[in-house]
Structure 1
Amino acid sequence: MSPHIAIDALNLAQGGGVVVMDRIADALERRGAKVTVITSRTLPGNAASQAGTRLVHPQASGILRTQVFRATRLPDLLRHVGADAVLSLNYHTPTDLPQATFHMNLIPFLPWRERRRAVGSLRAFAQRRAALRALARSRLNLFESCYLHDRAANMTGRADVGEVLHIGVDLPTRPPAEPVPGRLIAVTSGARHKRNALAIEAFRRYRDAGRPHATLDLVGNAADIRASLPERLRVAIESDPTIRWRGYVAPSALEEMLAISWAMLATSALESFFMVAVEAMAAGCPVAGYDVASIRESVGPSVPLARDGDVDGLVTRLVALDDASRRATEVEAGRLWARTFDARSCADRIAARLIEGLS
């Protein structure tokens, strides 16, 4: 008999975590499991069209209220819905039911100073505590990348912290499009670790080196991205028509944007898996990024990466893509690499392991 698995998604709001959760919920249902998703807000539909029954508890929204809700109300709620097991995302869920945790947040496994700089003192402490409890008390710990697994192993001093199962990416559903030379894209947010100033500065140097028609599409919350920039840079680009603020876009629209972009700029310092970089490669868009965190694992061994923080290194990488033959070879290799991360196949492997481990 397939289990009834409750997914603790109280911490999710929007972005990659919601995509991961939707894919896993959809894959669990394909394998016959009943799924109940417990959230603190209505989540946007992403990869899997809102799989699972959704129970929204807005009183659990916010880091402190989420912790109180988990400790005081969630155990009774899990019993009320008749769950047989729990899948938590990143953090421990206080329950006597069998539990698996899917880890996709790098921040709990960073040194204190880096954690505090990334998310502030309160969240740095709470996230670390909840992630450690998950590692110690979950029947099954799964990690979305080898990089994240290794950080957890180093932090705990245990080699057997869990298993690595990549979440994968959605592969394109449309025929290849003709890219626009000089059209760059960055999919980002206002988080400090995204280092948006580096991406914008690399674009400006690339454009000013004889490419006046080059453009940069910034995908993500425009107000948050602007707020993340130094004031001088923010003022300098406010009326720059070559930098285009696209806001959030639907997955289908992002696929179209990636397909016609000449390259993606990836300057984040803390990704546990560069999902959007693999999505770009799947769409035929080369990645220009820094050799940091999990990007090498994500994009493969053949993609040239710049030294971390080196803006001129990113520009050199972009200029090299002007060679049509080189770019075409890299695009084809990138598409082949991305196919090894097919989202449905990856999610099915995760679902199979969860049902096996929680039954």
Structure 2
Amino acid sequence: MKNILVVGLGKVGSLVGILLNKRFSVTGFDQRQPAQKLPFPVILGDVSDEATLTKTLDAFDGVVSCLPYNLNLPIAKAAYELGVHYFDLTEDVPTTTAIREMAATAQSVMAPQCGLAPGLIGIAGADLAKRFTKLRDIELRVGALPRYPNGLLGYSFTWSPAGVINEYLNDCEVIANGVQKMVPALDGIEVINIEGQEFEAFSTSGGLGTMCETYAGQVDTLNYKTIRYPGHAKLMRFLLYELILKEKRALVEQILTEAKPPVQEDVVYVYAVVEGWNGTELAREEFYRAYHPRQIDGQHWRAISWTTAGSVAAVVELVADGLLPQKGFIKQEEIPFDAFLETRNGQAFRKELIITEA
């Protein structure tokens, strides 16, 4: 895998291209010219034009889609038909299900869900789970937040508002009392204390990826929750359900985008807890990191941008190095965390920040 097409050059896609360009030959693809100057060529085109998309993609070995979840399937389909390795950042369950069906007969890698959640959090959680002879609970938490919040929501849309709304509305897959089931988003609110700061966490859709299937029959509890400042879930429930705006996603997206623009100083919390037995001894293992903005090639990048971009870039590296299967569907929880952390881009997720620049 040498030539990679990055589709969608927004907040995350531009950085995915920058990171991959340090090793691969990268080309971008977007409807319009990116606002910033990028160190790789950009093809202007419309992903809804299937003929143009297929013709363009045929010249590449891999494609990374950084588009909103609802635009991924045409790219995945073209990659499948051409035998091109496919990666994306989606949290959307129906999109992933459709890609997985294609992957059953694919001659290339089909790897959706390569962001933070699903993605990094599942890789970290599965690594903890391997340390036990018998599992009891796997609880995964991720929050992408403004470092200095204001207002009642205590939030800023540093990534796709459409993706956030999708997570807040779709039901969530969990394992509870040993049974695989669906629960409503914005429910199951709990209090979390991180280094003296109080947060809330609640169920949101898609964060587990395929983990419920993988750990069915092995755990009593498996769930994913999103971390927010206290009171956020109550206000979102008011907006979506009491004001009955859940059927007007475009309107909600417009309101929230205008009300809560992105901030430069953000923080990403990644927290995984696994409990189980080693022989007869009950034990608990934890993974916790707080990631902050970074300077990359002299430019400031938000924590949500570089963690998301770095995660998918690390998975691309693992496929290129032959450390992951070379065709079919890749589950995030099957990705070895040690190997992930050894990649050029995975190094940034270590406790001690180690970055090898070009």
- What is the TM-score with the length of structure 2 in the denominator? 0.39
Pick the structure with greater CA Rg: 1
Q: Which structure carries more strand by proportion?
A: 2
